[in-house]
């Protein structure tokens, strides 16, 4: 499902603390985001088999499947690899942040976080994603135009000889 079919972005929230999960979800809804919330990475990954959010907001320390494992699964899947992924976690060590960045996250936010900062991080990640899509579309259009131009030239060259002999 893409943003074009919805009026707002769909955010997948993955947080094992039910109160915090509900608070984050309600905060995002108050900023006009659509939210699908899950208690761990295994449930979130199962949902991703048939759905596609615009961004994933995920805790690191969770039962069944932690945030790092969930992130690795999304980065290994070609359909999910470019999905913006933000960690929102209580883990503040530079080693945790470095590991998350090595796997490929958009942002690393630490708890507690105010709602404005959270929404700014989400909007920035969504803007970068949209800019990448537009740039990719521009490059694909340019490549398509170049291929058509080359093919037209290649088809005309033999036809020139055929037409020349036909006229002769």
| Start-to-end CA span in the chain (Å) | 60
pLDDT (mean) for 17-28? 95
Does the CA dihedral 12-17-22-25 come out positive or negative? Answer: negative
**Which residues, including other chains, have CB under 8 Å from residue 10's CB and lie 6 or more apart?**
1, 3, 33, 34, 35, 36, 53, 54, 55
pLDDT digits (tens, 9 = 90+) for 42-79: 999 999 999 999 999 999 999 999 999 999 999 999 99
Q: What are phi and psi of 81, to 5 degrees?
A: -55, -35
Q: How far apart are CA 2 and CA 166, in angstroms?
A: 54
- Look at residue 116 in the predicted model and tell me its pLDDT: 92
- Look at residue 1 in the predicted model and tell me its pLDDT: 42
pLDDT digits (tens, 9 = 90+) for 126-160: 999 888 888 888 888 888 888 777 777 666 667 66
| Cβ atoms of residues 125 and 106 within 8 Å | yes
**Which residues, including other chains, have CB under 8 Å from residue 71's CB and lie 6 or more apart?**
58, 85, 87, 100, 103, 104, 105
Q: How far apart are CA 60 and CA 121, in angstroms?
A: 17
């Amino acid at each position: 499902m893409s943003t074009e079919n919805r009026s707002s972005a769909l955010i997948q929230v993955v947080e094992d603390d039910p109160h915090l999960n509900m608070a984050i979800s309600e905060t995002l809804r108050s900023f006009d985001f659509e939210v699908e919330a899950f208690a761990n990475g295994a449930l979130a990954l199962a949902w991703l088999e048939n759905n596609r959010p615009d961004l994933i907001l995920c805790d690191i320390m969770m039962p069944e499947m932690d945030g790092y494992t969930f992130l690795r699964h999304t980065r290994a899947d070609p359909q999910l690899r470019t999905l913006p992924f933000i960690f929102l976690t209580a883990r503040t060590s530079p080693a945790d942040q470095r590991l998350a960045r090595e796997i490929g996250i958009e942002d690393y936010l630490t708890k507690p976080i105010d709602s404005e900062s959270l929404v700014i991080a989400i909007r920035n990640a969504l803007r970068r994603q949209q800019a990448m899509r537009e740039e990719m579309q521009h490059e694909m259009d340019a490549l398509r135009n170049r291929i058509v131009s080359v093919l037209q030239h290649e088809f005309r060259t033999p036809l020139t000889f055929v037409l020349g002999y036909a006229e002769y």
